[in-house]
């Protein structure tokens, strides 16, 4: 067993850390206030190779492993979880999905733009009545021979307004239940596609989350992913990897809040001494450090499983379940350590506490992770 990162991993971590400090930190409070999408920053992340890290080099991807990806996700998320969710969706849902299951034509046409930041992707599974219950798709894709016709509404879609290409999950044959679901690549400019209102969110306010409407959108057959009926499996497999990315995001939020709290406890004085000298604070720091280290091990193990070609449904679900709880616990304690300062925007930790919550909800709620985990361990 070797817990040491390679030199290359360390370089990737450092590059993400530098980017977070120099490019994300300066405007992060303002973007959160104004609900402003980090457009410039995402463009630069694309130029630096962070938007398609694991994708095939022949389509502009970095060809890197999942460990590299989670290291980058952690560092970006320490500073700006709104930017990091954009990175996560594009990398682990959209690029990975097309790279792994797409045709050469789809990769040529779409992946090569998504990996470089020239285009942005969104993953559209959730509906008003199909969030956790993902098999209950109301959006329909009717087979018309050489094309499908899409109708329906998708909800809470990350990158909804800013994306160029959308992976859309829809029901083709209701009789066949989940085996009658398909996944398609849809272009923003296509007739009948409409971006709905933007959500006014509690956290990750810099990311844009929208509903999407499909009104008789004509999708060429060549834009279907995989065989007829592969859409639900595609969504599940893609989300399994996505959950490792969100677990890394949660880890990053926790680690960012922890680092700020540690520094604060060394400078803020109360009762004549730095607050770190009070056991009430020191013990909080001890708990935070331990929880983060445990979460990091779970995240790394899930990434490692994926890189080794082993099943990562269970380890990814455990990593997301635990890391998102740690993000909530640690960011809440970070606000407590900062006291009154923790409750104002300038000190960052209140934003981290708001941002942390979504990691227990998106790409499968904590309750869904428990379904995945319990089914997996009880089947033996
Ligand atoms: N990889 C591949 N296939 C998978 C899979 C995975 N990780 N998980 C499930 N499947 C397959 C099953 O093998 C089954 O296929 P077969 O009928 O061929 O055996 C099929 O999918 C249906 O699986 P299951 O019967 O377990 O479906 P359920 O309706 O019980 O739902 C959960 C399973 C709850 C795990 C699933 O609906 C889920 O993950 N929901 C949450 C979705 C989500 O993350 N939403 C957030 C939106 S994205 S922000």
- How far apart CA 258 and CA 277 sit, in angstroms, is 17
Q: Which ligand 1 atom is the nearest neighbour of the CA of 132?
A: 41
For the chain, the average pLDDT equals 98
Q: Strands of the chain (E only): list them.
A: 121-124, 140-143, 147-158, 165-171, 181-187, 193-198, 209-220, 269-270, 273-274
Res. 2: pLDDT tops 90: no
Ligand 1 pocket, residue 178 CB under 6 Å = yes
- Is 364 close to ligand 1, i.e. is its CB under 6 Å away? yes
Q: Kindly give the interhelix angle for 279-307 and 66-79, rounded to the nearest 10 degrees.
A: 150
Q: Residue 380 pLDDT > 80, yes or no?
A: no
User: Rounded to whole angstroms, how far apart are CA atoms 116 and 154?
Assistant: 26
Instruction: Report, as an integer, the average pLDDT of 323-329.
Output: 99
Q: How much distance in Å is there from the Cα of 83 to the middle of ligand 1?
A: 28
Q: Calculate how far, in angstroms, residue 136's C-alpha sits from the geometric centre of ligand 1.
A: 11
Torsion of CA 74, 341, 33, 332, to 10 degrees: 50
* pLDDT tens sequence across 146-176: 999 999 999 999 999 999 999 999 999 999 9
Q: List, for residues 69-123, the tens digit of each pLDDT value.
A: 999 999 999 999 999 999 999 999 999 999 999 999 999 999 999 999 999 999 9
pLDDT tens digits, one per residue of 31-74: 999 999 999 999 999 999 999 999 999 999 999 999 999 999 99
Tell whether the model's pLDDT for residue 131 goes beyond 90: no
Query: Structure pTM?
Result: 0.98
Phi/psi of residue 246, nearest 5 degrees? -70, -35
Average pLDDT over residues 237-241: 98
Rounded distance between C-alpha atoms, residue 51 and residue 60, angstroms: 10
Query: Is residue 255 within a helix (H) or strand (E), and if so which, with residue range?
Result: helix 231-267
Residue 125 has pLDDT above 80, yes or no: yes
Cβ contact 80:206 at 8 Å? yes
pLDDT of 332 reads 98
Q: Is the CB of 368 under 6 A from ligand 1?
A: yes
363 has catalytic annotation = yes
């Amino acid at each position: 067993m070797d817990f040491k990162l390679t030199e290359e991993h360390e370089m990737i971590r450092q590059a993400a850390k530098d980017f977070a400090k120099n490019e994300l930190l300066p405007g992060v409070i303002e973007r959160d206030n104004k609900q402003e999408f980090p457009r410039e920053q995402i463009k630069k992340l694309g130029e630096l190779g962070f938007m398609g890290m694991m994708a095939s080099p022949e389509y502009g991807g970095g060809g890197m492993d999942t460990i590299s990806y989670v290291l980058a996700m952690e560092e970006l998320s320490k500073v700006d979880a709104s930017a990091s969710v954009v990175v996560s969706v594009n990398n682990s849902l959209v690029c990975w999905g097309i790279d792994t299951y797409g045709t050469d034509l789809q990769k040529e046409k779409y992946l090569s733009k998504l990996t470089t930041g020239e285009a942005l992707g969104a993953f559209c599974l959730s509906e008003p009545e199909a969030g956790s219950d993902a098999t209950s798709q109301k959006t329909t894709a009717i087979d018309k021979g050489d094309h499908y016709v899409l109708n329906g509404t998708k909800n809470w879609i990350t990158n909804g307004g800013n994306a160029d290409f959308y992976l859309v999950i829809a029901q083709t044959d209701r009789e066949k239940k989940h085996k009658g679901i398909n996944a398609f690549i849809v272009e923003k400019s296509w007739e009948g596609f409409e971006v709905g209102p933007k959500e006014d969110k509690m956290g990750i306010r810099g990311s844009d989350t929208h509903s999407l409407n499909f009104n008789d959108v004509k999708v060429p057959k060549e834009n279907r992913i995989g065989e007829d009926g592969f859409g639900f499996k595609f969504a599940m497999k893609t989300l399994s990897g996505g959950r490792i990315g969100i677990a890394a995001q949660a880890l990053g939020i926790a680690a960012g809040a922890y680092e700020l709290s540690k520094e604060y406890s060394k400078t803020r004085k109360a009762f004549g001494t730095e607050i770190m000298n009070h056991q009430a604070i020191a013990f909080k720091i001890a708990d935070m450090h331990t929880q983060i280290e445990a979460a990091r091990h779970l995240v790394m193990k899930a990434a490692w499983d994926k890189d080794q070609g082993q099943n990562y449904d269970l380890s990814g679900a455990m990593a997301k379940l635990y890391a998102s709880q740690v993000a909530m616990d640690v960011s809440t304690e970070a606000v407590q350590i900062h006291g009154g300062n923790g409750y104002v925007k300038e000190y960052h930790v209140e934003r981290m506490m708001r941002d942390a919550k979504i990691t227990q909800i998106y790409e499968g709620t904590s309750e869904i992770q428990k379904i995945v985990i319990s089914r997996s361990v009880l089947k033996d």
